[in-house]
Amino acid sequence: MISASGHSQENMNLNRQLSFQEYLVAAVLLAVMLYVFQLMAANARFDDLHAIHWAGRFFELGAAGIYAGSEGTFFMKPPDLWVETALSEDANRAIYPFIYPPIWAWISAQAGQFISFEQMSGAFAWINPVLVCASWFLAIRIAGGNGSVGFYLVIAFVASLASLVISLPLEEGQPQIIVSFLILAAIERDRAGRGTSAGLLLALAASIKLYPAIFAIFWLAAGRKQSVTAFLIFGAAFGLLSIAVAGWPLHQDFLAEVSAISKTALLSFANFSLDPLVIYLTTPESELILVSTDITGGKANWRIVEKPAELRLFSGVVQAIALAALVAVAFKSKITDPMFWPLAFVVVAWLSPLSWVYHYMTAFVFLPALIPRLGYFYGLSAIILATALTSSDIIQAIVNATDSRGWIIPISNFAIVMMGALFILSLLRPEPPRTDLHPGAQRL
């Protein structure tokens, strides 16, 4: 049977429902995960959420109150007005820039009339843990497999605690968790044959961060007509709504910030992408500009440099080749194998100019699905290695042993490339017998 979204429901859906005992085990484990994750999130400083809050606070001032005006080089600094306000109010916190589409500044301005930042961050201290748990379960539903759901979630729990990919966004109160959840939910709905819901979810994710729109290209290549159509309709609606409530000039300022990001290499222990690695290997330390948040009481710092023309050309060529390869795979395979998605998530993030470690959450939650493909020994070994190489404790131990922080960027990039290679290997393995984690034909 072919669904309205243009792909075989027989191929996409799995074959049996979970038993009551399996649901009970999953519920208990997810409850334990939620409790621990909430403890981790309870003391978060919510610095990125604070940037969204202040974008709403100063929304009426226009671009000067929202975007920093990077003018070609992205220093990851907030508007001068924000720094002045933070100093006058003795904020004693890192003040980061707002680099979201203008509609979220407008939404924040409306919400700010009814709730305080403390109330908003208190809500996120619960929202983020819930969405992390939900993301792990969505990965189970997408990947399927014939393994134990309980075993999968035990691995998920341990990996979440050990790796920066999950622990850092929880401890920082990152809004990126919402974006990752929406992407996974969109993929799950598409594979369940619910193209309208899938398109809506991906469009919503792209309205927060632009990069999820890339994944609609793979749907298009795979013939997911309903999902693509819904994405285009809802995406256009969100875009027009944003222009209507915030005005076109603010969108020009936002796009200027995006352009500046694409022209800048930012070196940080948490930016896991190709550009910083190339700069690290080719650029003397003396040519890098140190930027920090200490002026307002923050402790974070990073180094930036404008990307040379050669690096911009190299990055563009590599991105084009990688995108073409993924499109070709999607077109040929129709993405019947769910392990295409974590590979796509890794490639898109790694080749982007600014990909914080938590941008890999969408791929990381698929690591337990390697076990049915690679076997218990090799699968678990791969998971342990990927988790260890993205663990702050392991990275710090290597730094201490070598007396150099220079190892951080090579190690982090090796971890990401290795994850991508593991997902490629899993695609080359015969797909195992599938277990139905879709409980019936429920429509959204």
> How does pLDDT run across 388-415, given as a tens digit for each residue?
999 988 887 877 777 666 778 888 899 9
Spell out a b/e string for 80-100, using b for 16 or more CB atoms within 10 Å of the CB, else e.
eebbebbeeeebebbbbbbbb
State the pLDDT at residue 433: 52
> What total of structural domains would you count in the chain?
1
Q: Distance between CA 106 and CA 60 in Å, rounded?
A: 9
219, exposed or middle or buried, with CB in 10 Å at 0-12, 13-18, 19+?
Answer: buried
Please say whether the beta carbons of 132 and 170 come within 8 A: yes
Residue 265 has pLDDT above 60, yes or no: yes
Q: How far, in whole angstroms, is CA 298 from its chain's centroid?
A: 24
Global pTM value: 0.91
Which structure tokens are listed for 165?
């990919």
State the pLDDT at residue 4: 37
Measured between alpha carbons, how far is residue 72 from residues 63, 257, 272, 284, 306 in Å? 16, 8, 22, 21, 8
Quick: pLDDT tens for 190-199. Answer: 999 999 999 9
Q: Distance between CA 194 and CA 186 in Å, rounded?
A: 9
Please say whether the beta carbons of 162 and 391 come within 8 A: yes
Whether residue 19 lies inside any domain: the answer is no
Which structure tokens are listed for 309?
């023309």
Neighbours of 150 (CB within 10 A): 15
Whether residue 437 lies inside any domain: the answer is no
Confidence of residue 299 (pLDDT cuts 50, 70, 90): confident
Whether residue 10 lies inside any domain: the answer is no
- Residue 302 phi/psi, 5° resolution? -155, 170
Confidence of residue 421 (pLDDT cuts 50, 70, 90): very high
Q: What is the mean pLDDT of the chain?
A: 88
Confidence of residue 7 (pLDDT cuts 50, 70, 90): very low
Whether residue 150 lies inside any domain: the answer is yes
Please report, rounded to a whole number, the percentage of residues in the chain having pLDDT higher than 90. 68
Rg value, the chain, Cα: 22
Amino acid in the structure at residue 129: P
Q: Distance between CA 323 and CA 221 in Å, rounded?
A: 11
Please say whether the beta carbons of 219 and 211 come within 8 A: no
Whether residue 40 lies inside any domain: the answer is yes
Whether residue 440 lies inside any domain: the answer is no
Q: Which of helix, strand or coil describes residue 70?
A: coil
Q: Once rounded to an integer, what is the mean pLDDT over residues 162-180? A: 95
Among all chains, which residue has been given the structure tokens 């003391």? 43
Whether residue 1 lies inside any domain: the answer is no
Q: Once rounded to an integer, what is the mean pLDDT over residues 329-356? A: 95
Q: Distance between CA 404 and CA 397 in Å, rounded?
A: 11
287, exposed or middle or buried, with CB in 10 Å at 0-12, 13-18, 19+?
Answer: exposed
Amino acid in the structure at residue 344: A
State the pLDDT at residue 19: 74
Among all chains, which residue has been given the structure tokens 């929304």? 59
State the pLDDT at residue 1: 34
Which structure tokens are listed for 311?
């690096």
Which structure tokens are listed for 11?
């191929």
Confidence of residue 261 (pLDDT cuts 50, 70, 90): very high
Domain ranges, residue 402: 25-428
State the pLDDT at residue 328: 97
Q: How far, in whole angstroms, is CA 186 from its chain's centroid?
A: 14
Whether residue 89 lies inside any domain: the answer is yes
Q: Once rounded to an integer, what is the mean pLDDT over residues 366-380? A: 90
The residue count for the chain: 444
Which structure tokens are listed for 108?
């924040």
